Structure 1
Amino acid sequence: MSHFWTLMNDEFGADYAATLARDHVLGALDGRTVLEALEQGEPPREVWEALCDDMDVPSARRLGHHTRVARGAQGGQLGGKR
């Protein structure tokens, strides 16, 4: 859930993200707002994708502005001494 809010704030700014979450009704979420969908158990990933589709967020920005590969993942940095 914290990653969801990081994505929201990165893409829309904290104030507008809060307004969108509270007020913007999404047809893809059966006419619910972001907050209603999350409170009713919709997975944050699905809510995020529905909002991105509705707000025309380019696919290149849907993973966030500051994406990085997790430590130990392919392409990531390994921790520890060499």
Structure 2
Amino acid sequence: MRLTDFWTRLEEAFGAAYARSIAADHSFGELGNRTINQAIAYGIDTATIWRAVVAAYPDRVPSRLR
């Protein structure tokens, strides 16, 4: 998944402002307790990051974005 596709999906699922907040503030256990921003900087694949987001927010991410 390209980085631009990742951000598009995240913003579509959560809205632009909340998506950026989640990216900066929520630590995901599946990403080594990193935030999205930290995981991207660390070099973790965006598809892996997206799967962690979907697992953490299953009711928030529409099935068409999974």
Global fold match (TM > 0.5): yes
User: Looking at both structures, which has the greater relative contact order when contacts are Cα pairs under 8 Å and sequence separation is at least 6?
Assistant: 2
Q: Once the 2 structures are TM-superposed, how far is the Cα of residue 59 of structure 1 from its aligned partner?
A: 6.4
Structure 2: 5+ residue stretches without partners:
none
Q: Name structure 1 gaps, 5 residues minimum.
A: 64-82
Partner of 1:27 in structure 2? Answer: 29
Q: Using the alignment, how far apart are the partners of 1:11 and 1:58 within structure 2?
A: 5
Structure with the higher strand share, 1 or 2:
1
TM-score by length of 2: 0.86
Greater gyration radius: 1
Normalised by the length of structure 1, the TM-score is: 0.71
Which of 38, 41, 49 lines up with 2:40 in the alignment?
A: 38
Structure (1 or 2) with the greater helix fraction: 2
